[in-house]
Chain A
Amino acid sequence: MREKLVVIGNGMAPGRALDRLFESAPGTYDVTIFNAEPRVNYDRIMLSPLLSGEKTFEQIVIHGDGWYVKHGVTLYKGHRITAIDRVGKTVTSSGGVTAAYDKLIIATGSVPIVIPVPGSTLAGVLTYRDLDDVQAMLLAAKSRGRAVVIGGGLLGLEAAAGLSDQGMDVTVLHLMPTLMERQLDTTAGHLLQRAVEARGIKVITKANTEAILGDTKVEGVVLKDGTELPASLVVMAVGIRPNSALAKDAGLTVKRGIVVDPTMRTSDPDIFALGECAEAYGECYGLVAPLYEMANVVAAQLAGDAAATFTPSATATKLKVTGINLFSAGDFAEGKDREEIVLRDASRGIYKRLILNDNTLAGAVFYGDTADSAWFFDLLKRGVDIAEMRETLIFGPSFAGGPSLDPMAAVAALPDDAEICGCNGVCKGRIVGAITGQKLKTLDEVRAHTKASASCGSCTGLVEQLMKATLGEGYNPAAVQPMCACTSLGHDDVRRLIIAKELKTIPDLMQGLEWKTSCGCAKCRPALNYYLLATWPGEYQDDSQSRFINERVHANIQKDGTYSVVPRMWGGMTSANELRAIADVVDKFKIPAVKVTGGQRVDMLGVKKEDLPAVWADLNKAGMVSGHAYAKGLRTVKTCVGTDWCRFGTQDSTGLGIKIEKFMWGSWTPAKVKMAVSGCPRNCSEATCKDVGVICVDSGYDIHFAGAAGLDIKGTEVLGHVDSEPEAIEVIAALVQLYREQGRYLERIYKWAKRVGLDTIRKQIMDDVERRRALYDRFVFSQKFAQSDPWSERVNGRDAHEFAALADFSIKEAAE
């Protein structure tokens, strides 16, 4: 008599196991399947195309009714198993059927997680798991209303795309900062978000759901930050958990899932567990490849192959949304002994990242072009030694499969009609012809004659390789100093391209300019943050993690890790009230040192980081704000007492200094900016060694600039003479704005002036009044977003994480 095999669950994994079993050992078992869903086995992976309307249910059925008949399988549709009797070796279904087994397979799959927020049980709140969910969504989509999808992972995005295709207005809420963060690195996550948004789907990241609104049915979603989103449909796609309750009730060992050994047996040797409900090697699995592996093992074991065991292998993810190509596999975290190869092709929207570990491929993330993903996944799974093809690996099998090619040989091998510069349509033949014909020696000459790489600049590397191949040793490409090791572009190129390509975030910039690292370095990130801030005032969101610590916490770090605090004293003027407040703060917080600075203000040194907000709160109360003594921005405007008190004073130097400081404070600049106003040529405020200085004279104001009194000592240059205070302020603001737009990060005004030429600057500021006015207007506009006291913002709770320890175990442990 044949043995009885009972299968609980009729998903893809048991379906595959039975297929394999019927192939290798036909007729060994009498098979009975209990399916809680009232239908045959279908391809759950294809639910998304079903939702979007690209497929019908018939097209995604794996085993039609005929398959069950052919293999003599008894299928109980819509029967949920309620109990397993391991002693009597029977199972009992919700439909009242009791079946005896010799071998049992539990394949109950998983259940979607529902976040227990208020309103989560309202009508119109769905999960995304089976055909019933899809049918309910399709029905809801008929209203063409608004839908909110909670969860920006694989399933959530597929649901969002499907609902959007069905005509709904869809918003995706995602708790983490980037989409699909478990499968993608942040760069690919940002690209994905842009592609999703381009389809008309709104994405809110860092979104924490507070409640689902509605009386009897869904009316909207409210977030923890108070944002309200109207919606007639809410889909929760935040994750799954193994459906192991039945096994637990039967007394089998259950942790997160039903624990199985490598042969897929549970703690009862006659019972197998398989699929998403099973836990092997301490892990539960949700992707189809390992689940099919499990199925093969169960089939082999049932057919009598005792040696068959399950070993989890690397898994790969592909997003099934038409028009978005995305692939990730393996482990793409950074780490020791790990190297990355990044390829970015901005014009084609491609990002590829390979992570190498000891000459093998450990992980891969592709966005935009996934054509070669199978080849890479195969390299990864088999642990192939890629040392031989490393140089060209990222270009894929058509390139890397052959013997190692150096990039120069690759360029040399290009046909003459190969397009090098896409922007200007310049082919290789034309560039080589121009180099030899016109005896061109530099990149600028090639740009001037052929226009190749003269627009977006992303083909610069190729053009340089061509020049090298054509000129040999006669070409020396190192003319432009790259910003850092993350790019071959110089500061000026980056600034030009930020505007030309309208790059508005650091991830966009790194993609658009083909950065060689995935998240930059400590050199380029602060520079990029400044360039974006200066270029897109009011639009760019400052990235505090790309700022040096002093600008991140608005105080100056000292050698022992404490901070110094310098409040602004406008024009160097102070009062009894301010001094009293400073004295009180020094006492209250036991600040060890107080010093008068060279910029005419008071420095409190040795403040503990966690005390900073409280120190600032007290200073704020006395009317004092941050002095930006830490900033690449306006520091001080030093003054003398001028006509108020001095018998030689020619103008109100103190008043003008205060006006300049109140007008210009808070502006970010490439490097620090120090100013001074002297009331007469005796120059008591030492204005002639400042970045910008004003010397008052009887007839008005001499404006000086480009002085230095630090690493270099340099007297100022005269910019020009103006007659009135408003003119002086306009000239100074225009000068600083020009510097803000042209200066390289960390380049002081005197170095910038030397580089671009004093006369060039004088012409633009003093002679071209229209241009000066435009610069001034741009400065005024950017100040609208800059003049907010960073101290009071933090007193009111901003960046609170900066000023508190994550945890404190020092007291508890000390007591032991």
Chain B
Amino acid sequence: MTVTQQAWVDAGALIDIPVRGARVVKTAQGCVAVFRTAENEAFALEDRCPHKGGPLSQGIVHGASVTCPLHNWVISLKTGEAQGADAGAVKTVPVRIENGRLLLDFTTLTARDAA
């Protein structure tokens, strides 16, 4: 068994993301969508809707959810799970806000390759 170490990476400032909006962070494992809610919370998800791979970073953010721009699936920012009648989930990426900076931990993305 291996213990995955958390590795926090500074991806920018919270205020660089519009309120109720998102920005993309590119990683070697693909794009990550980083969201900022009306309550100034940050969440990060793999930028691929579980339905047809739509870029969630381009959706409308409401409450702690985002609506995919391609076919209007609603994805929970907290769990990555599709809401309502739709089923499916996208990987979540841990985020911390420290002194207004966004710290992301991408190890969850690589964990898939090890499995």
Contact = CB atoms under 8 A, between A and B. Distances in A.
Interface of A: 175-177, 181, 185-186, 332-336, 338, 517-522, 525-526, 544-550, 553, 557, 559-561, 801, 805-810, 813-814
B72 interface: yes
A549 B69 contact: yes
A522 B39 contact: no
Contacts of A335: 41, 64, 78
A186 B19 CA distance: 10
Contacts, number: 118
Contact of A557 (B58, B79, B106): B58
Contacts of A517: 62-63
B21 A545 contact: yes
Interface in B40-88: 40-41, 52-55, 58-64, 67, 69-70, 72, 74, 76, 78-79
B26 A521 contact: no
Contacts of B63: 334, 517-519, 521
A813 B58 contact: no
A522 B74 contact: yes
B26 A334 contact: no
Nearest to B48: A561
Nearest to A560: B53
A180 B25 CA distance: 29
B18 A806 contact: no
B62 A809 contact: no
B69 A557 contact: yes
Contact of B25 (A185, A545, A546, A806): A806
B25 A519 contact: no
Contacts of B23: 801, 805-806
Interface in B1-23: 9, 11-12, 15-21, 23
Contact of A549 (B12, B18, B53, B59): B59
B78 A545 contact: no
B78 A177 contact: no
B28 A557 contact: no
19 contacts: A176-B15, A181-B40, A335-B64, A518-B63, A522-B62, A526-B60, A544-B18, A546-B20, A548-B60, A549-B58, A801-B17, A801-B23, A806-B12, A806-B23, A807-B26, A809-B26, A810-B27, A813-B27, A814-B28
A606 to B, nearest CB: 14
B24 interface: yes
Contacts of B106: 809
Given A545-B61, A806-B11, A561 B26 contact: no
Contact of A522 (B25, B67, B70): B67
Contact of A806 (B20, B24, B64, B69): B24
A176 B58 contact: no
A545 B18 contact: yes
- The range of chain B's interface size is 35 or more
A801 B70 contact: no
Nearest to A522: B67
B60 A559 contact: no
B90 interface: no
Contacts of A333: 37, 39, 41, 64
Contact of A805 (B18, B24, B41): B24
Contacts of B25: 805-809
A137 to B, nearest CB: 28
Contacts of A519: 20, 38, 62-63
Interface of B: 9, 11-12, 15-21, 23-29, 31, 34, 37-41, 52-55, 58-64, 67, 69-70, 72, 74, 76, 78-79, 102, 106
A185 B21 CA distance: 16
B48 to A, nearest CB: 9
B39 A334 contact: yes
B39 A185 contact: yes
A809 B27 contact: yes
A525 B62 contact: yes
Given A181-B40, A801-B18, A545 B60 contact: yes
Contacts of B64: 333-336, 338
Contacts of A808: 25-26
Contact of B20 (A332, A545, A559): A545
Contacts of B9: 809
B28 A809 contact: yes
A338 to B, nearest CB: 8
B62 A521 contact: yes
Most buried by B among A334, A517, A813: A334
Given A186-B38, A519-B20, 11 more contacts: A334-B41, A334-B78, A517-B62, A517-B63, A522-B74, A561-B53, A561-B58, A805-B25, A809-B106, A813-B27, A813-B29
A520 B26 contact: no
Contacts of B40: 176, 181
A545 B23 CA distance: 12
A176 B100 CA distance: 11
B38 A561 contact: no
Contacts of A561: 53-55, 58
In the complex, the 4 A-B pairs of residues with the closest C-beta atoms, listed nearest first: A522-B67, A806-B23, A334-B64, A813-B28
B94 to A, nearest CB: 14
A559 B49 CA distance: 11
B107 to A, nearest CB: 12
A732 B25 CA distance: 46
Nearest to B72: A522
A546 B41 CA distance: 18
B27 A559 contact: no
A539 B31 CA distance: 38
B63 to A, nearest CB: 5
A582 to B, nearest CB: 25
A801 B53 CA distance: 22
B25 to A, nearest CB: 5
Nearest to A562: B55
Contacts of B69: 548-550, 557
Nearest to B62: A521
A561 B21 CA distance: 17
Contact of B59 (A522, A801, A809): A522
Contact of B60 (A177, A181, A522, A806): A522
A810 B25 CA distance: 9
A718 B70 CA distance: 36
Nearest to B52: A559
Contacts of B15: 175-176
A434 B70 CA distance: 50
Contacts of A559: 52, 54, 70
A805 B11 CA distance: 10
Contacts of A553: 58
Contacts of A334: 37, 39, 41, 63-64, 78
Contacts of B70: 557, 559
Nearest to A336: B78
Contacts of A548: 60, 69
Contacts of B52: 559
B19 A545 contact: yes
Contacts of A806: 11-12, 16-17, 23-25, 34, 102
Contacts of B31: 805
